Structure 1
Amino acid sequence: MSYNNILSEVTNGIATITINRPKKLNALNKETIQELHQAFDAADKDPNTKLIILTGSGEKAFVAGADISEFADFNVGQGQELAAKGQELLFDFVANLGTPVIAAINGFALGGGLELAMAAHFRIASDNAKMGLPETSLGVIPGYGGTQRLPQLIGKGRAMELVMTAGMINAETALNYGLVNHVTTLDDLMPFAEKLAGKIMRNSSVAIRSAIKAINANYEVGVNGFDVEIKAFGACFGTEDFTEGTTAFLEKRKADFPGK
């Protein structure tokens, strides 16, 4: 499939999705959000894809925010629809994807860009990265899940400060806050992401898909995450991956998971 604003390729089981609007610092517009949805959906349905790395083109920005020109004249109803549709199409979609998603933050991740990175299952950043939610400086608040995911990741107090000041933090501060898992040089960012991907891909893709669902359940209102875990744990016993994993362990050999 060809895209206007992103690049997507699969190599050795890793789908790399790159937001490719360098002249706009990879800002998110409606078309880009739709294309990202299509690319993530295609990767998740591809049996040859075991992991997805999301990054931005160039050396300046992962995603520098949303394309403000598209919604500067919106009314209340249009604003609500923009947030609802965006969350459904992309941000919540990515967060609940069964295929693991690593965000490789290679520069500015601001507004919708940071919200997209936070929707990924975890994040790594280059040492030149800057992150923030500057929406209050525009008279609006984060609308793609930022007010919910940021406090889950870094705590309520720090999230309140970051949103209210509309400030930016650097990669080292993001690491200390727990917003990112690792910081590397820009040159090492993608090789490091691929190394992490390799470690993940050695394990059962079926079990990982269930683990993502169980972990996410802890953050869903009205859902008992422990119950979800118990059911998912039991379901694993009926998979070919469980049979292979336990047999390989008892036979003292490396497991060759069929992904079923």
Structure 2
Amino acid sequence: MSLKTVSISREGAVSIVEVNHPPANTLSSETIADLRKAFKQLADDNETQAIVVTGAGRFFIAGADIKEFTDAFGDYEKAYGMAEAGQALCDEIEQMKKPVVAAINGAALGGGLELAMACDLRIAADDAILGLPELNLGLIPGFGGTQRLRNIVGTAKAVEMILTSKQLNGKEAFEVGLVQASVAKDEVIDTALALAKSLIEGRSMTSVTRALECIVKGENESLEHGLERERNRFAELFLTEDAKEGVTAFIEKRKPKFKHK
């Protein structure tokens, strides 16, 4: 697969997706397309059990490519298509059946923060800058930011951050629950990798994928529908080899040997 603005590497069962689109790793249409290809590849890769996404250099993702916005002036369909592509990328990341951790090594603004919020968990550098400044441009977040920020930090905080274009550093983002940890810049990748590994080590991917599905899809469903899915996925696991192995190992007081089947 040919990717011009994104690279993929691997550390054990964790794949690292790195955006490399100098100077600020903006989400151009090409970068969005490359990221969608990368995540599709990793979704189908049996060797990848978890994913860390980060940015090359000083930036995580500094936002959308503003220069491309000028092509959409006066063109509703083109502007709609830009939002649609960005939302599709974030939706695909959110719907991944493998844990995705954002390693926010630098500025995560606009579309960059929207992508990070689509990940399951987020680690930020203490001095990283996070925010949705679109209203400064006479726009609004268009890649899912109005919805995901509200779901993560609550309505009042989302209103404050979006309407004032307030930006938070990593420590402040941790305090409001936007990220799970704020660490020194040179520790971001290692911390994110350790977190990603902790989500999968000693676990069966048959249960990990179903747990993620229930959590993510349940957010946009009624409690009744969410519980129905939970019952179905719970029952499905009793048909798998790994559930039998996990329960048997617990009874026999030994570590399970999962085959992810």
TM-score range with shorter-chain normalisation?
over 0.9
In structure 1, C-alpha distance between the alignment counterparts of 2:92 and 2:52, rounded to whole Å: 15
Per the TM alignment, residue 239 of structure 1 is displaced from its structure 2 partner at its CA by: 1.4
What amino acid is aligned across from residue 240 of structure 1 in structure 2?
E
What amino acid is aligned across from residue 62 of structure 1 in structure 2?
F
Aligned to 2:87: 87
Aligned to 2:52: 53
1:35 aligns with 2:55: no
In structure 2, C-alpha distance between the alignment counterparts of 1:22 and 1:106, rounded to whole Å: 15
Per the TM alignment, residue 256 of structure 1 is displaced from its structure 2 partner at its CA by: 1.9
Per the TM alignment, residue 11 of structure 1 is displaced from its structure 2 partner at its CA by: 2.5
What amino acid is aligned across from residue 182 of structure 2 in structure 1?
V
Per the TM alignment, residue 27 of structure 1 is displaced from its structure 2 partner at its CA by: 0.5
In structure 2, C-alpha distance between the alignment counterparts of 1:219 and 1:178, rounded to whole Å: 17
In structure 2, C-alpha distance between the alignment counterparts of 1:180 and 1:117, rounded to whole Å: 9
In structure 1, C-alpha distance between the alignment counterparts of 2:70 and 2:42, rounded to whole Å: 33
Aligned residue runs from structure 1 range 8-19, under 5 A: 8-19=8-19
Aligned to 1:217: 217
Corresponding residue to 1:72 among 67, 70, 76: 70
Structure 1, residues 183-238: CA drift from partner, whole Å, max 9, x if none?
11111111111211221122111111111110112222567212111111111111
Aligned to 1:251: 252
In structure 1, C-alpha distance between the alignment counterparts of 2:214 and 2:228, rounded to whole Å: 9
Aligned residue runs from structure 1 range 151-170, under 5 A: 151-170=150-169
Query: Which 5+ residue runs of structure 2 have no aligned equivalent?
Result: none
What amino acid is aligned across from residue 239 of structure 2 in structure 1?
G
Structure 1, residues 127-160: CA drift from partner, whole Å, max 9, x if none?
1111000001111100100000001000000000
Query: Which 5+ residue runs of structure 1 have no aligned equivalent?
Result: none
Amino-acid identity (%): 40
- For the residue of structure 1 that corresponds to 2:193, the secondary structure is helix
Runs of 4+ residues deviating >4 angstroms = none
1:20 aligns with 2:20: yes
1:7 aligns with 2:7: yes
Aligned to 1:242: 243
Whether the 8 Å contact between 1:83 and 1:143 is mirrored in structure 2 is yes
- For the residue of structure 1 that corresponds to 2:10, the secondary structure is strand
Per the TM alignment, residue 22 of structure 1 is displaced from its structure 2 partner at its CA by: 3.1
What amino acid is aligned across from residue 129 of structure 1 in structure 2?
A
| Deviates further, 78-87 or 45-54 | 78-87
Aligned to 1:189: 188
Whether the 8 Å contact between 1:129 and 1:171 is mirrored in structure 2 is yes
Whether the 8 Å contact between 1:107 and 1:130 is mirrored in structure 2 is yes
Whether the 8 Å contact between 1:217 and 1:228 is mirrored in structure 2 is no
What amino acid is aligned across from residue 218 of structure 2 in structure 1?
N
Structure 1, residues 154-192: CA drift from partner, whole Å, max 9, x if none?
000000010001120111111111110011111111111
Whether the 8 Å contact between 1:104 and 1:124 is mirrored in structure 2 is yes
In structure 2, C-alpha distance between the alignment counterparts of 1:121 and 1:215, rounded to whole Å: 10
- For the residue of structure 1 that corresponds to 2:123, the secondary structure is strand
Aligned residue runs from structure 1 range 76-225, under 5 A: 76-88=76-88, 90-202=89-201, 203-221=203-221, 224-225=225-226
In structure 1, C-alpha distance between the alignment counterparts of 2:69 and 2:117, rounded to whole Å: 22
| Deviates further, 69-78 or 136-145 | 69-78
Corresponding residue to 2:61 among 60, 63, 75: 63
TM-score normalised according to structure 1 size: 0.95
| Deviates further, 178-187 or 79-88 | 79-88
- For the residue of structure 2 that corresponds to 1:72, the secondary structure is helix
Query: Once superposed, what is the RMSD of the aligned Cα atoms?
Result: 1.3
In structure 2, C-alpha distance between the alignment counterparts of 1:250 and 1:199, rounded to whole Å: 23
